Structure formats: structure tokens, C-alpha cells
Amino acid sequence: MTLTEDLRQTPLTAFNIAHGGRMVSFAGYEMPVQFPDGVLKEHLHCRAAAGLFDVSHMGQVILRPKAGRVEDAALALERLVPVDILGLKPGRQRYGLFTAQDGGILDDLMIANRGDHLFLVVNASCKVEDIAHLRAHLSDDCEIEELTDRALIALQGPDAEAVLSVLAPEVVDMRFMDVADVTLLGVSCIVARAGYTGEDGYEISVDASHAVALAEALLADMRVLPVGLGARDSLRLESGLCLYGHDIDAATTPAQGALEWAIQKVRRTGGARAGGFPGADIILPELETGAARRRVGLRPDGRAPIREGAVLFADESGGEPVGRVTSGGFGPSVNAPVAMGFVATDHSGTDTPLFAEVRGKRLAVFVSPLPFITQRYKRS
């Protein structure tokens, strides 16, 4: 990947460069793929202590009800996502999916109830389309504001709580998926106890003008290392978390993506607010009967990583493909290669033997439960 002059910068681009970040093009932004310690050390340090991530390329959006009640915004958003937003309590957030009429996933996102409005975080590669989607369908009911003057910092790892509590002791009381206003270095921030690594941690939305000072203060703690896109990807893969455009996309339904857990009973067949979202006539029956293919974990039988795009077969020689790898690499925490992919449902059972075609050879892999590591969210 090469850098060009038209790449966008985040409020932390200069910070990333100053700390030795190797910058690459990602989703139209100049982003650090790694820092001087390297991907392996960054990954393991995040699992053992705390990692600092610049995720300011993500889209941050406020959905404010024109009628003045957050419930109105929640019901409006439920027209676009198969998720229980009305039941989301103030100070809590939930994973959601924008769906299409054919049942495909347009993007995945986080949705927080901020008391008088909803706060959304969407993927960088989809945020222009997501905001246009919101405005096309919800403008009669909601004011839709993209926050372009804020950074987003993730602090992840078992020491994240101890590090952040130095600046704000109250974050200790937050639980997984809590969202709160927290003052950090004298500046009000939106802090969510969540992340994309499988570890405990926080995502911090901060005014762009204060982002560098906050990042420097966090990095000054000896327990914290800066982490780039390379380790962010290996961390989320070990945790079995989807990367939009790879493990899920517009051709993937929620059931195919093994995301049934994200659709609450109230939005399913027989629920009080069943359906009413794009693709419901396809998505809801699949939740009951299953889909023809399914996202699964894959453990190669050997040390060679199986990369995205590798075709999967049921037989070591001959036969038709039964699936495809969508994410793959080496898992430093498990000291072994790991992957995810789609396979025909009748080949999706745990320990099912498969073969991935790599450079003309078929390498043995086995279907594995997800995640590959134990997720360490603070739930109580």
C-alpha cells in the first residue's frame, strides 16, 4: 500500500508518526499499520497489559429525535436495523446491523442510548454510505449529525481499567457495553466500555483538539504501547470478530454470518416488534431454519497460515468447493494459525475436517468454535 496526497488524516496522524508509526493507506486514511515494537509484540502486549489504538477513521454520528424523545429516534432506527433499540437503556450500547432488502448486511455498527439522543459508531469504509442511508430514510423523524471534529481512541487490555482510572476513577464502575460522559484531563469525553480485541477496555470519543494530549497522557503510562492496524486485525481475528467487507458484507445474511445473537427476540417472528426492517422476509425465516452456509472458525493442521481467499474442500483431492476463507493469519496468543470463513452448513460442525487449497496444495484444516481465545469483558 502506498501513500498518496489525497489520503485523509485523523487528529492523531502526527502523533502516530511521531511515535514511529509505519503509515499506510486504509479506508481512505493515513493510518499506522505498526509501530517500532512490531505487530507480534503489540499483539501480545495488548493481551498482557494495554494497547492504545487510533480508530478516529471510524464514523461518529448523532441521531437526535425531532420530537424530543429518544424513544422516537429508537423506533425510527429500528426501521433500518433488526435490533431492539427501544429496549436499550440510557447509558448502554448495543451491536447492530444495517440490512438490505435482499437480507444482506450493509454495515455493522455500535448504537448507544445517550438519554436524549442515539450515538452511532460506523465503519470507516462505509460511513459515507451509512450516513446517506440514515438521511434518506430517517430525516423526517431525526436530525442526523456526523461528528467530524472528534477523535476516537481505544484503550484495550487487562490493564486498561487501571490505566484509565488514574485519570477518571469512576470508569472502574463501568461494565461491558456501558457508555458514559467522563471528564479526562478536564475535557468531557464519551467513554464506552467496549472494543474490538476480545479484551476488557474502553473506546473514548474526544474533541479533536484534545486528542493528542489525551493519547500522550495514556501512553505515558508504562503499561501502554501504541498498537497499529496489523495487531488490531490479529487481535480481532483471535476473538472471532467480523471485519466488514471480509467476513460479512452485502452478500451475507445475519444467519450466514453467525450473528443470530445480535437480533433480540422482540424483533424476531412472534416478537412484539417483529420485522419492519429491510430484508425481514429473508432474515427472519433463516433465524428459524438456518442458512445454506455459515461463518465458522478454522484451525489449520500445521504451522502454515491459511489466508483470505483460500478455497475450502471436503476432500483432499477432487470434489467441488464447500467454502472459502475470509480472514486468516497467525494467532500470537494461541501460537498457531487461525482463520474464519464460510462453509456449507452441513460441513460446519465443530472438528469437521476440510482442506484449504494453498498454492496448488490442499492443507488440512478443522472447523473450530469461535472465539479462539477467552474473551475478557467485564460483565459484572
Q: How do residues 298-324 score in pLDDT, each as one tens digit?
A: 999 999 999 999 999 999 998 999 999
Model-level pTM? 0.96
What is the per-residue pLDDT across 146-163, written as a single tens digit (0 to 9) for each?
999 999 999 999 999 999
What phi and psi values does residue 262 have, to the nearest 5 degrees?
Answer: -80, -5
206-220 burial string, b = 16+ CB within 10 Å, else e? beeebbbebbeebbe
> Do residues 51 and 225 lie in contact, with contact meaning Cβ atoms separated by under 8 Å?
yes
Burial class (CB in 10 A: 0-12, 13-18, 19+), 113: buried
Confidence (pLDDT) at 318: 86
Q: How far apart are CA 168 and CA 75, in angstroms?
A: 34
pLDDT of 3 over the 70 cut: no
CB atoms within 10 A of CB 171: 23
Confidence (pLDDT) at 4: 53
Question: In this structure, which amino acid lies at residue 245?
Answer: G
What is the pLDDT averaged over residues 92-96? 98
What is the per-residue pLDDT across 165-205, written as a single tens digit (0 to 9) for each?
999 999 999 999 999 999 999 999 999 999 999 999 999 99
Confidence (pLDDT) at 215: 98
CA angle 340, 347, 103 (to 5 degrees): 65
Position 5 confidence tier, pLDDT thresholds 50, 70, 90: low
Q: How far apart are CA 59 and CA 82, in angstroms?
A: 20
Q: In whole numbers, what is the pLDDT of the chain averaged over residues?
A: 97
Position 57 confidence tier, pLDDT thresholds 50, 70, 90: very high
Confidence (pLDDT) at 1: 43
What phi and psi values does residue 153 have, to the nearest 5 degrees?
Answer: -115, 130
In percent, the amount of the chain with pLDDT more than 70 equals 99
pLDDT of 124 over the 70 cut: yes
Q: How far apart are CA 203 and CA 106, in angstroms?
A: 23
Catalogue all structural domains in the chain, each as residue range(s) with its CATH number: 1-290 (3.30.1360.120), 292-368 (2.40.30.110)
What is the per-residue pLDDT across 243-259, written as a single tens digit (0 to 9) for each?
999 999 999 999 999 99
In percent, the amount of the chain with pLDDT more than 90 equals 97
168 contacts: CB under 8 Å, gap ≥ 6: 182, 183, 184, 191
345 contacts: CB under 8 Å, gap ≥ 6: 290, 291, 292, 293, 294
Question: In this structure, which amino acid lies at residue 292?
Answer: A
> Do residues 337 and 331 lie in contact, with contact meaning Cβ atoms separated by under 8 Å?
yes
294 contacts: CB under 8 Å, gap ≥ 6: 255, 256, 258, 342, 343, 345, 348
